[in-house]
Amino acid sequence: MNRFKSLISLAALLVSGTAYSYGTGTSSYPLMPEKRLVSTEFTGITSTGGGVGLQGRYTHKINEKTIVDGGLGIGAGERDSRFFLGADYELIPDYMKQPKVSLKLNFENAKEFDVRRNVLTLAPVVSKGFSFWGTEAYPFVSLPIGLSLNGESKTYESLVNLSTGIAGNIPVEGYRHLVATAEATIGVKDSYTGVFFGVSYPLN
């Protein structure tokens, strides 16, 4: 177990070597207030200028309704570095047959195609807990909509993504305290298409 914790910590340090968040993160996963997670995430961009990379994310549920996160990432291809900060606010809880609905605000500073961009997005996120073979998991769908500012030309463009995925504890004895996420994103307008996988370790 100590070896596994060390691997997660090492990967998180690797992605901090440089400073656009890929993926929704653990927004759909139910956390208790004051719960903190550190995540290591694999990113794979399949659209133009894509490549594989790593991303580190810190997540903190600061109260009953609000989750904040932030992190750094690096990648191959023309989308080579990013820094991001986000906040997710719960509007409707996951209760009985009712899905959870939240809004996630995200700020990203990214280097793409040799241009530095500032990106601000707002995403409605809808999720619902289900039992899969006795293990609870939380599928979700989100629609990030935002504006991207080109740091060189000082021009704006709008962007839209469609994302879907699932989050839940790893159903393996000895690793059930870890949260795994898997997500696929489709670029609808002036954005990217890719797949993302992550593992989160609870700090408390």
Distance (Å, rounded) from C-alpha 190 to C-alpha 193?
10
Q: How many helices (H) and strands (E) does the chain have?
A: 1, 12
Mean pLDDT confidence for 123-129: 93
DSSP designation for 76? S
Burial class (CB in 10 A: 0-12, 13-18, 19+), 181: buried
Per-residue pLDDT tens over the stretch 20-67: 355 676 777 889 999 999 999 998 888 877 788 899 999 999 999 999
Distance (Å, rounded) from C-alpha 67 to C-alpha 3?
29
> For tokens 């047959």, what's the residue?
97
Asked which of 74-78, 129-133, 200-204 is least confident by mean pLDDT, the reply is 74-78
> For tokens 């080579």, what's the residue?
80
CATH class of 2-202: mainly beta
Q: Is the dihedral of CA 154, 159, 163, 168 positive or negative?
A: positive
Burial class (CB in 10 A: 0-12, 13-18, 19+), 129: middle
The pLDDT confidence band at residue 7, using thresholds 50, 70 and 90, is very low
Per-residue pLDDT tens over the stretch 146-200: 998 887 777 888 989 999 999 999 999 899 999 999 999 998 988 778 899 999 9
Looking at residue 23, what is its pLDDT? Answer: 65
Amino acid at 14: L
Q: What is the CA radius of gyration of the chain?
A: 16
